[in-house]
Structure 1
Amino acid sequence: MSFLDTVKAIPVTDLAERLGYSLVKKGRYYSLREHDSVMIDVQKNCFWRNSRFIKGFKGGAGSIIDFMMEFGEEPDYKAAMRRIALIYGIDGEKSPTIHYQQKAVPEITSKAEKKSKILTCKGVELPEKAKNTNQIFRYLLWRGISSKVIKYFLARKLLYEDVHSSCVFVSPHEDFACVRGTGKNRFLMDCKGSNYDRCFFFKGKANARTIIVAESVIDIMSIMTYFEIKGEWHGNYGYLALAGTGKINAIFTHLKQEPQINRIVLCLDQDEAGCAADERVLERLKKIEFPGRCDIKKPPVKSCKDWNDYIMTLQ
């Protein structure tokens, strides 16, 4: 079997769960709790989005590779294939080293049964811990993160090193976790069962009134490092990493749960997707008549895509 055939043989349903989505049965198909317009055909191993797919339109439908581009936020076909290969341990034409299971075709049930069987997020599957944190400490220092910020994460158990020497970031309530590789090949993965309604959220102090929002935990750590460089204590704020730009609903979840928040600082990437997400957030805040203040803060250097790019220029 060729490399492409091996990748395409992996069930879309298995990848969806590994990316942190919850499967819901819809007739003889599966959908996603987080995106109910998505339909996955397990027999043909393909998906489509009813909200986007139009005949002849590129995007919103296709194989597991297209699914990774759509929901794994990979920029192109080759990048999506490489990331799938990393997740499943595919090397050339060899079989995957990570086992997966094909979902059975769902039986058609009544509407009442469907409602009672909608999956909910009950926990996160965390990778096995390593005995030390040497590799992730070196890696994060290389990324420009201050040692104080790294120790802050370790002390609060927001971070640990897994047996593959990757960084595992875990939110305080263990309802969201993600993995970032420390090797030469870029590897990112949200842990199965992560709750995208909350994403990665923590508060430096219980009554934090300002929430700093970024796209990744590395960006959050970079912003905390920036505060430290300015001589400001980074523990004054709440922090939210959205796992990209498609999960802005988490902001509004925390506004409901943290009524003391009166300021939002959007520190999303300095690119088209980040700027578009800024606009979506501002529009929704206006719609709900948010009484507080919302600021947009991009890296001081325009050539830097995100806050980590900027912090690395300061080394």
Structure 2
Amino acid sequence: MNNRFTEEELDIAKSVDLCSVASFLGYTVKKIGKYYTLKEMDSIRIYNRTNWYRWSRQSEKGSNGGSQIDFLRVFAGMDVKEAVFWLLDFAGYKKTDDSERNNSLKHCVDKSSIDTEEKEFVLPKESDSFNYLYSYLQNKRMISRKCIDYFVSHKLIYESRDYHNIVFKGNDKNGATRFASMRGVFDKNGHAFKCDVKGNDKTYGFNVANDNSDELEVFEGAIDLLSYCDIYDDYETNKIALGMVADAPLETFLKEHPGIKFIRLCLDNDEPGRKASKALKDKYEKQGYEVSELPPPKDFKDYNDWIKAVKSKNIIPPKKCR
């Protein structure tokens, strides 16, 4: 499939059941009257199972509603191309003749069903070896073995048995895993499998906690968090990946770790990341924290883009400053 989509392919992508998409990504879908909402974000409204609106972000153009494509863009970090590919795969679309295609499509609104009951949170079983995890993070993401070893040895990441996904665990202050996200190691057609484990608590995020430190770095994605650790050789400060630009996991982490005084916002260099960073800086400064913005250099979208350049061009990163 090339980079351009036919009208028919776009129609199929926009016919995918958005409730099924949200459930697959790990959200708990609940029906309220004529619309659906998400247990983890009750400001979301899903109408006709195909479009959504977030009333709490009415003024934020581009992130307050839209189609299934917009949902994946905002909540799964995909660009438009990745989202359309993902939806076509999810629908079971293949370039066949019309009769075969119509019979094979799944997760479309007129055929789908969804279990809206609350799901039990069960982590995927571990693989006997973590070969795919190491290969992907070292070769595709340019993260050092030392860094990967740290997260594996602290049981914060592992490789799943059935699909060899990387599982990123979000633990509470007592070490119990309350959240987990998965990232595929086999990118397909330029896009990757990403989702949260069903039944997780989205007020938590992938994190590294150290109560001997009063500093906290905040990232959008787990791989950016690893990249930052590797770039700065920093395994001492607290760190958290939000998995998005909403700050519910950050609020929870700060409540559970009251010794935090300094927050560094290491969000992406794109427009949503910069906008969210400024809003979070204002919010948490008002709460008494010392907050600074520490995005990657302006030529790089995120910390993983930066570490690839650091490793491939032998760039010496600047010292971290408060």
User: Which amino acid in 2 is paired with 1:302?
Assistant: K
Distance across 2 between alignment mates of 1:49 and 1:70: 12
In the other structure, the counterpart of 2:276 is 277
In the other structure, the counterpart of 1:202 is 208
1:211 CA displacement: 1.1
Distance across 1 between alignment mates of 2:40 and 2:12: 28
User: Which amino acid in 1 is paired with 2:113?
Assistant: Q
Check 1:123–1:158 CA distance in 2 against 1; reply closer, same or farther (3 A cut): farther
Give the alignment partner of residue 44 of structure 2, picking from 35, 38, 47.
38
> Structure 1 residue 102 and structure 2 residue 113: aligned?
yes
When the two structures are superposed, what TM-score results if normalisation uses the length of structure 1? Answer: 0.78
Aligned residues of 1:212 and 1:237 also touching (Cα < 8 A) = yes
Distance across 2 between alignment mates of 1:311 and 1:51: 37
Aligned residues of 1:177 and 1:191 also touching (Cα < 8 A) = yes
Q: Answer with 16-25 or 90-99: which moved more.
A: 90-99
Check 1:302–1:69 CA distance in 2 against 1; reply closer, same or farther (3 A cut): closer
Percent of aligned pairs with the same residue?
Answer: 29
1:147 CA displacement: 0.8
In the other structure, the counterpart of 1:313 is 309
Distance across 2 between alignment mates of 1:20 and 1:36: 15
In the other structure, the counterpart of 1:193 is 199
Aligned residues of 1:20 and 1:195 also touching (Cα < 8 A) = no
Distance across 2 between alignment mates of 1:125 and 1:97: 25
Give the alignment partner of residue 297 of structure 1, picking from 289, 294, 298.
294
In the other structure, the counterpart of 1:80 is 83
Alignment partner of 1:168: what SS?
strand
What are the equivalent positions in structure 2 for 1:1-315 lying under 5 Å apart? 7-41=13-47, 44-49=48-53, 51=55, 60-76=64-80, 78-86=81-89, 90-92=93-95, 95=104, 102-103=113-114, 124-142=121-139, 143-162=141-160, 163-172=162-171, 173-185=176-188, 186-187=191-192, 188-203=194-209, 205-228=210-233, 234-245=234-245, 247-288=246-287, 290=288, 292-299=289-296, 301-315=297-311
Gap regions ≥5 residues in structure 1: 107-118, 229-233
Alignment partner of 1:129: what SS?
coil
Distance across 2 between alignment mates of 1:285 and 1:211: 12
User: Which amino acid in 2 is paired with 1:284?
Assistant: K
CA RMSD of aligned residues (A): 3.1
Aligned residues of 1:211 and 1:238 also touching (Cα < 8 A) = yes
Aligned residues: 285
Distance across 2 between alignment mates of 1:67 and 1:178: 17
Alignment partner of 2:78: what SS?
coil
Distance across 2 between alignment mates of 1:92 and 1:168: 32
Q: Answer with 279-288 or 3-12: which moved more.
A: 3-12
1:168 CA displacement: 1.6
Can you list the C-alpha shifts for 1:243-298, whole angstroms capped at 9, x where unaligned? 122x223222222221111111111112222111111111211333x2x3212112
Distance across 2 between alignment mates of 1:82 and 1:294: 38
Alignment partner of 1:160: what SS?
strand
Alignment partner of 1:259: what SS?
coil
Distance across 1 between alignment mates of 2:56 and 2:215: 35
When the two structures are superposed, what TM-score results if normalisation uses the length of structure 2? Answer: 0.76
Distance across 1 between alignment mates of 2:82 and 2:224: 21
In the other structure, the counterpart of 2:318 is none
